Amino acid sequence: MSNLFGQNLGVINLGVDGFADVIEAEGGAAARVDWRPPAGGPDAAAALAKLAGNPAVDAANQRAFDRYLASQPVLEGIGIAGETLPGMGPRHILHAGPPIEWARMAAPVKGAVVGAILVEGWADTEDAALELAAGGEITFEPCHHFDAVGPMAGIISPSMPVVIVRDAVSGARTYSNLNEGLGKVLRYGAYSNEVLDRLRWIGGTLAPVISKALEKTGGIELKPLMAQAMHMGDEGHNRNVAGSVMFLKTIIGAALNSDSSREDVAASADFIADNILFFLNISMAACKCMLNAADGVEGSSMATVMARNGVEFGLRISGLGDRWFTAAVEPADGLFFAGYSRDDAAPDLGDSAITETAGIGGFAMAAAPAIVQFVGGTSATAINATNEMTHVTIGRNPAFTIPSLDFAGSPAGIDARKVVGANTPPIINTGIAHKEAGIGQIGAGITHAPMACFEKAVIALADAMK
């Protein structure tokens, strides 16, 4: 029988707010919706009508979300990209974000490609490298096509070392490159000799030291480490100080007990200790691992990838597997280093939005009081930023609790339906690159995922549900 009469009328009021006042004054219950037209206009609204409250999508999302929660990323070792990444060919260069051909690449990405070609020894000069890159002989593909992620330009070429993260639940592996530190670095498009020498040192010294240490430890469980870092003020994207210190603390003993030379261990320890973002790449591979676990659930609208290539922002959702939903990237806004401004900034770049996709980074802003300046400067604004994301997420991650929210879990599992329905774009913390190759990082701040990606994904999912 119908549930309308004699049920203690409970109304959800959407639209004219005054109606809710009357309902409450007359003894009914009224829950108010802070309604805004869904993004994407009536087409997206019609798609949403099909998907919202659709039990098949709800169940699929719960399955995807449960798999994400259950995933147990373990830092297993270090490999060489060309030997380790399944399917990577000898002339492959991987980049951040959705697919893009050489001609359209952003300047910092082009610079990083040049650097990679020089490191690989495929060319001897900048000009020769540019010619090679434009010549069609090199295959450019997104890191994500190889279960890998890279911050900023995200360039991974065959000889580069990669961290290997294994999901203890499924055995599936994900990868990232090693973080080079701040200043002039490849991921911001720099390819001076200093940059290339550092890359060679990372491959020749740092990677083996960590690799041997990891053999000693038998792998490092990453979620507990990330959770602990969040309790120590990291949100896991723009701030990785605690995670980096914890990582060093975790491997230093094993490194000293390995057969690496004392000098190499000391140099490696200094390098990691000097790099407050060292843990970012490892954590990104862990995020990729958790999200891969959630991927491929038919009917699910849960985001599994958000990534930028400096020109386009790309989204993937669990239920539509390998399809990219793209839109022009939005500019980042934030705090700039002395001498730089928004005018100098490159459009948004990097795979590091995998952290937000996994419920940390901007979504865990409330965990990082040290960087609240990015969202308004007070703890309250940081908490509001995190709370705002509960409008777009499937649930909370009990593994990543936030002290300032009295240990509530971080909002996680972005539901594309909710992003469009609530017209609330996911927040992304980000570093800001100079728009010209090679200058490097000029600031950090926040940006938002473009709504258009989510609108396209929702419409495509509604079509697929027919």
Partner 1 sequence: MTTRTKFFPNHYRDSVALMRMSAEIAGLPGIDEASFVMATEANIALVVEAGLLDEGPDPRPNDLMGVVTGSGADEIEAAFDAAGEALASTEGNRGGAAEAVLPRSLDAALDSAPASNLALISCPGEYAGAEAMKALRLGLNAMIFSDNVPVEDEIALKTFAAANDLMVMGPDCGTAIIDGVPLGFANRVRRGGIGVIGASGTGIQEVTCQIDRRGGGVSQAIGTGGRDLDERIGGVTMLKALDLFAADPDTDVIALVSKPPAPTVAARILQKAAATGKPVIVNFLGWRGDRSAYPSLTFAGSLEETAHLAVAAGGSDLPPFEIDPMPSPVPADGHCLRGLFSGGTFCHEALLELTPVLGGVRSTSPVDKSLTLNDPWTSRGHTVIDLGDDLFTRGRPHPMIDHGLRNERIVKEAGDPSTAVILLDVVLGHGADMDPAKAMLPAIAEARELAHGDNRRIDFVASVCGTGRDPQNLDRQEASLRDAGVRLAPSNVQAARLAARVLAETAGGAS
Site for partner 1, residues 395 to 414, rule: CB under 8 A: 395-399, 401, 403-409
Q: Token pair for residue 186?
A: 């490849």
Residues 188-227 within binding reach of partner 1 (CB under 8 A): 221, 223-225, 227
**91 part of the interface to partner 1, by CB under 8 A:** no
Taking the complex as a whole, how short is the minimal distance between the CB of residue 385 and partner 1, in angstroms?
Answer: 10
Q: Token pair for residue 275?
A: 């790099």
Q: Token pair for residue 147?
A: 């279960």
Q: Which of 10, 183, 204, 331 binds partner 1 (CB under 8 A)?
A: 10
- Give the DSSP H/E element, type plus range, for residue 459: helix 451-464
Closer of 82 and 421 to partner 1 (Cβ): 421
Please identify, among the stretches 7-15, 138-146, 148-156, 431-439, the one whose residues bind partner 1 according to the rule CB under 8 A.
Answer: 7-15
Go through 415-436 and write b for each residue having 16 or more CB atoms within 10 A of its CB, e for each that does not.
bbbbbbbbbbbbbbbbbbbbbe
Tell how strand 92-95 and strand 139-142 pair up: parallel
Tell me if 448 sits within 8 A of 425, measured CB to CB: yes
**170 part of the interface to partner 1, by CB under 8 A:** no
Specify the amino acid at residue 219. G
Closer of 357 and 401 to partner 1 (Cβ): 401
Residues 15-54 within binding reach of partner 1 (CB under 8 A): 15-16, 18-20, 22-23, 26-29, 31-38, 42, 45-46, 48-50, 52-54
Q: Which of 125, 139, 228, 257 binds partner 1 (CB under 8 A)?
A: 228
Closer of 316 and 418 to partner 1 (Cβ): 418
Taking the complex as a whole, how short is the minimal distance between the CB of residue 305 and partner 1, in angstroms?
Answer: 24
Hey, is 333 helix, strand or coil?
A: strand
Strands (E), 253-367: 303-309, 312-317, 325-328, 333-336, 349-350
- Give the DSSP H/E element, type plus range, for residue 43: helix 41-51
**14 part of the interface to partner 1, by CB under 8 A:** yes
Tell me if 460 sits within 8 A of 323, measured CB to CB: yes
Taking the complex as a whole, how short is the minimal distance between the CB of residue 207 and partner 1, in angstroms?
Answer: 24
Q: Which of 159, 170, 373, 387 binds partner 1 (CB under 8 A)?
A: 387
- DSSP tag of 1: -
Residues 324-383 within binding reach of partner 1 (CB under 8 A): 366, 380, 383
Taking the complex as a whole, how short is the minimal distance between the CB of residue 274 and partner 1, in angstroms?
Answer: 26
